[in-house]
Chain A
Amino acid sequence: MEQENGISKGSSVYKVPEGKLIKVWLEVEVPGNILVDIKLTGDFFIHPEEWIASLENELKGMSMDDIPGKIIEQAEKDDVQLVGIGTEDIIHAIKLAFESTGS
């Protein structure tokens, strides 16, 4: 856990069973649990690739509670193909990173 000026930083590394690796780095504002910044990296595949940056931007400013629903909604809306990971894995990796902030 790392904390400064009400911002908690967290990270996680999650290997999807039979799949690829997702790494999450995030900053959460406490109290309130608002996602301030997030980066999703790893050796997975998403088509189209640019979706990841737009997803990261969409998530910024949201309450952590609303993140899972938003990820599922965006993936369906944008009709993306994920290979080696699923939306549930992204959600899980973000949850692990959030837990690592100790918030």
Chain B
Amino acid sequence: MTETWRLLRTGAMDAASNMALDEAVLSLNKGKKEGTLRFYSWEPKAISIGYFQGINEEVDIRKCEELGVDVVRRITGGGAVYHDDELTYSVIVDERHPNISNNILESYDYLCKGIVNGLERLGIDSEFKPINDIITGGKKISGNAQTRRMGSVLQHGTILRTVDVRTMFDLLLVPDEKIRDKMISAVEERVTSISDMLGEKVQDDRILEAMVEGFSEGLGVKLEPGEPTSEEWEMMKTIRSEKYGTREWNFKR
């Protein structure tokens, strides 16, 4: 019998709330056989940096404040991401789930099948490219990051609807100002989006629908729409105020 996983659509929230909800669901996942798939977006726009990144090495904090862009440190490793016009997802599932490999790269490959299948439904051929990207026509269209704690896996990632490399570079620090334009061109060559690939702006709902079907097929599970529990919301608020909303956490490296 096909397993049923919970599907959450939590819409747009600020960066600290988004990261806190992912962690709350992860923290309360212990003992659950079925996983959770969550889709969300960011309001205001935000930069998230990887667990190990130095915030002052990567982010132009003053510029982010000036433009009202949130900055948050993730619980997952990986690089800095500018969350603008994208669909963000997270998967939370028991580490001992039969489909989750102990090998991290293999588990990325498995969980990324959801996105690859979803993109296929939109008419975009793509593939998982280790370490943690999904590429189409040689360009990156999705970045993903994973952590494992308390016996569960959390993988979250972005699926770009459009991409604005220039604004991203306004908010991130570049090692050398003289080569800023060159770096922008180089990244523009390496990154694409759903809209770029299809030559039209695709409606959010259409992308979401394709991704829900894609994940269901790719992961081999049924997805049942649900809501975060009141316990998860309460824990989200606590984690938000004690961690992702604090300078101590965001500036810890």
Contact = CB atoms under 8 A, between A and B. Distances in A.
Interface string B211-248: 00000000000000000000000000000000000000
Interface in A32-61: 39-49, 52
Contacts of B90: none
B131 A83 contact: yes
Nearest to B148: A47
Given A41-B54, A45-B78, A46-B77, A19 B148 contact: no
A45 to B, nearest CB: 4
Centre residue among B50, B75, B76, B80 by max chain A CB count within 10 A = B50
Interface of B: 50-54, 57, 75-80, 104-105, 131-132, 145-149, 175, 253
A39 B54 contact: yes
Contacts of B132: 45, 83-84
Centre residue among A19, A45, A49 by max chain B CB count within 10 A = A45
Contact of B57 (A23, A52, A81): A23
A41 B145 contact: no
A42 B54 CA distance: 7
A86 B146 CA distance: 17
Contacts of B76: 45, 49
Interface residues of A, number: 19
A42 B53 contact: yes
B145 A48 contact: no
Contacts of A45: 76-78, 104, 131-132, 145-146
Main secondary structure of the interface of B (DSSP, over half): loop
Nearest to B253: A41
A101 to B, nearest CB: 19
Contact of B52 (A19, A44, A48, A81): A44
Contact of A81 (B75, B80, B104, B145): B104
B147 A43 contact: no
Given A48-B149, A49-B147, A43 B52 contact: yes
A64 B196 CA distance: 50
24 contacts: A13-B175, A23-B54, A23-B57, A40-B52, A41-B57, A44-B77, A45-B76, A45-B78, A45-B132, A46-B52, A47-B104, A47-B147, A47-B148, A48-B148, A49-B52, A49-B75, A49-B147, A81-B104, A83-B77, A83-B104, A83-B131, A84-B77, A84-B131, A84-B132
A49 to B, nearest CB: 5
Contacts of A42: 50, 52-53
